[in-house]
């Protein structure tokens, strides 16, 4: 990120967030939670877009190594990943290697707004379509129930709750699934928040993987 105005915005957001996190009010839900989450979301996305691309790619490789370690106990798992957007870790090479090792990769599909996601098998080279918000998904893959769902995080807190883009798709999907998969949040370590002030509809991650840590939570 080279624009000085954007850099100033990121720096200002980080300063305000650090000040909030260190205050006695950090654990109190803000009066306007929706606005607070939007502010956090915007700052965190700008922050990660400010990471040099080469460093982001390095982080993605480190995250991939930790995912391989984390899922080593699963035999031929079906893992739902994601198509990277807005500076998210690019795990497509790892998903490719998963299929080469006998596993199965899937991508989420938004069928309609405000409805649960579906998961569709994906292999490199498959024909893709553009769905809601222009997100690619497999045009002809089989719908599956994954053993593991990898959910990209905009931010995450010390209890394993995920701050996403605000649409509620992952929470809605996980709540509706009859057989709950292992849910792994993936993001950068700098996206840590003290709390996202979780609400009853927020579903925590089982594990969060960053470039430097595997954070497992006892539920």
Question: For residues 207 and 178, what is the distance between their CA atoms, to the nearest angstrom?
Answer: 20
Q: Which helix (H) or strand (E) holds 157?
A: strand 155-157
Which residues, other chains included, contact 68 with Cβ-Cβ below 8 Å and sequence gap of 6+?
A: 94
Q: Count CB-CB contacts under 10 A for residue 116.
A: 17
Q: Is the pLDDT of residue 2 over 70?
A: no
Q: Which helix (H) or strand (E) holds 34?
A: helix 33-49
Range of the domain at 31: 4-216
Q: Count CB-CB contacts under 10 A for residue 135.
A: 16
State how many domains the chain has.
Answer: 1
- The pTM assigned to this predicted structure is 0.84
Give the per-residue pLDDT at 26. Answer: 52
Domain harbouring 45, CATH code? 3.40.50.10420
How confident is the model over 173-219, as pLDDT tens digits?
999 998 899 999 999 999 999 999 999 999 999 999 999 999 999 86
């Amino acid at each position: 990120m080279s624009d000085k105005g954007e850099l100033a915005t990121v720096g200002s957001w980080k300063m305000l967030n650090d000040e909030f996190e260190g205050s006695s009010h950090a654990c109190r839900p803000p009066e306007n939670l929706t606005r607070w989450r939007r502010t956090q979301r915007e700052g965190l996305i700008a922050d990660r877009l400010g990471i040099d691309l080469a460093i982001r790619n390095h982080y993605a490789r480190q995250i991939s190594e930790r995912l391989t370690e984390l899922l080593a106990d699963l035999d031929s798992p079906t893992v739902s990943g994601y198509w990277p957007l807005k500076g998210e870790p690019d795990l497509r090479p790892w998903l490719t290697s998963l299929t080469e090792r006998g596993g199965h990769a899937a991508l989420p599909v938004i069928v309609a707004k405000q409805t649960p996601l579906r998961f569709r098998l994906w292999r490199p080279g498959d024909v893709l379509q553009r769905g809601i918000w222009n997100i690619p998904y497999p045009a002809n893959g089989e719908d599956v129930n994954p053993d593991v769902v990898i959910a990209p995080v905009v931010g995450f807190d010390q209890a394993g709750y995920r701050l996403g883009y605000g649409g509620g798709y992952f929470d809605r999907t996980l709540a509706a699934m009859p057989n709950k998969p292992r849910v792994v949040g993936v993001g950068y370590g700098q996206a840590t928040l003290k709390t996202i002030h979780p609400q009853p509809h927020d579903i925590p991650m089982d594990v969060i993987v960053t470039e430097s840590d595997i954070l497992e939570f006892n539920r």
